[in-house]
Chains A and B, each alone.
Chain A
């Protein structure tokens, strides 16, 4: 597709359930980022991939959060045993070159996760 695609757009999970959020970056983009955006806040960094390598996972809030990009294209963010504080919009972004911020990063529309 023409842009970054995320699925599902909306997810409701019961507390304790596991969820998987998918990101399809723009074809050929080397860098991929995940951000978490709580209601009324700016996005906060979770993790960064360069191709299939996860180079920075310093923003993952707990070991319940796990991300992968096994073939250097599609990425999945998994949250185990969801809790109410995990409710947020999860944003994926990709950019063409490694390092990312010397070129434009393109964001998907996000997945809104609600934990009930």
Chain B
């Protein structure tokens, strides 16, 4: 079956620091890869996605590249802001499967 391993948090960074949150996966079939974000008091929101190898998903300054050879989809941002403080979830879905498989989430806290 599918599984996602995500770096544990919390991650605490100063504003303008570089962010990396690691995510690796195992999957049957050829997965689509996603990062979701959950801001305090809000529902999960899709941050970015990639559907084939070497694709780069990007949004709001965040990027992640689909690396099939290393089965990874690490999230990066060059300069974080206090408003990026949230919980980030890596997720995968395979084929026409209807269900997402999520990692355990990584809490990011950005301080001034």
Contacts and interface: CB of A to CB of B under 8 A. Distances in A.
A50 B105 CA distance: 28
Contacts, number: 62
Interface in A55-95: 55-56, 58-59, 91, 93
Contacts of A31: 98
A33 B46 contact: no
Interface residues of A, number: 30
Among B36, B42, B99, which residue has the most Cβ atoms of chain A within 10 A? B99
Contacts of B102: 42-44
A99 B36 CA distance: 18
Among B4, B51, B97, B98, which residue has the most Cβ atoms of chain A within 10 A? B98
Interface size class of B (residues with CB under 8 A): 20 to 34
Given A33-B98, A45-B100, A56-B98, A110 B105 contact: no
Contacts of B44: 43, 91, 93, 107
Contacts of B45: 107
A43 B51 CA distance: 21
Interface of A: 3-4, 31, 33, 35, 40-45, 48, 50, 55-56, 58-59, 91, 93, 99-102, 104-110
